[in-house]
Amino acid sequence: QKEVEQNSGPLSVPEGAIASLNCTYSDRGSQSFFWYRQYSGKSPELIMFIYSNGDKEDGRFTAQLNKASQYVSLLIRDSQPSDSATYLCAVNSGIYGGSQGNLIFGKGTKLSVKP
Amino acid sequence: EAQVTQNPRYLITVTGKKLTVTCSQNMNHEYMSWYRQDPGLGLRQIYYSMNVEVTDKGDVPEGYKVSRKEKRNFPLILESPSPNQTSLYFCASRPSLRSYNEQFFGPGTRLTVL
């Protein structure tokens, strides 16, 4: 059973702080890793993706990947109240079973940024 | 505007009454899929389609059917809905099987089965 684990939160940070969101995955065959943001009642929106070990930065967002530890994280610098949402970690199904092209989602971490 | 549309957005129905949720995309995408989202369970794939007339089961296909007669449309059919199918449903599309980073989600359909 492929799994993606996230702390459900809520994670509360003050405005301007760094929010750190973590995710672990079970399928060693996974190659692609994604972070989605989902506002309440809305559809998920892709904000970051990473394929290689190390860091990837895009504006205030940094994704970090450690395949040996099967660990993905998302850092949000200078957090804003508008960043308050649920963040979903997603991992592609590896080559060992599973439907083709499926993304396995974690249950999400709810982030609250306090003004 | 590039988009994935779903209809209806909200639906309340009764057990056993067949229903169809439509999904349409205007981006000429090959890969389309349906997910359901439930509290505490996250997003789970129901069915997917790699192209016209090519569909297959995802992780939770029981009680659902799909068809892909045209590239742009991928309807989700519940032949005999039951209360455990009460959920938030999302259709998603992307250009091809491996283009994960170009996946668009539709706005969602909130279904309640009484």
**CA–CA min distance A42, chain B (Å):** 6
Does residue A37 carry a pLDDT above 90?
yes
Say whether pLDDT at A47 is over 90: yes
Does the pLDDT of residue A28 top 70, yes or no? yes
Strands (E), A3-70: 4-5, 11-14, 19-25, 33-38, 45-50, 54-58, 61-66
- DSSP β-bridge partners for residue B93: B32, B104
> How many Å lie between the alpha carbon of B33 and the closest alpha carbon of chain A?
9
State which residues of chain B have pLDDT below 70. none
- CB atoms under 10 Å from CB of A51, counted, come to 14
Question: Amino acid letter at A10?
Answer: P
Chain A residues touching residue B40 (CB < 8 angstroms): 107
pLDDT at A14: 97
Residue A107 CB neighbours (<10 A): 20
Q: At residue A27, what is the residue type?
A: D
Is B40–A107 a contact, with Cβ atoms under 8 angstroms apart?
A: yes
Which residues of chain A are within 8 Å of residue B43 when distances are taken between CB atoms?
44, 88, 90, 105
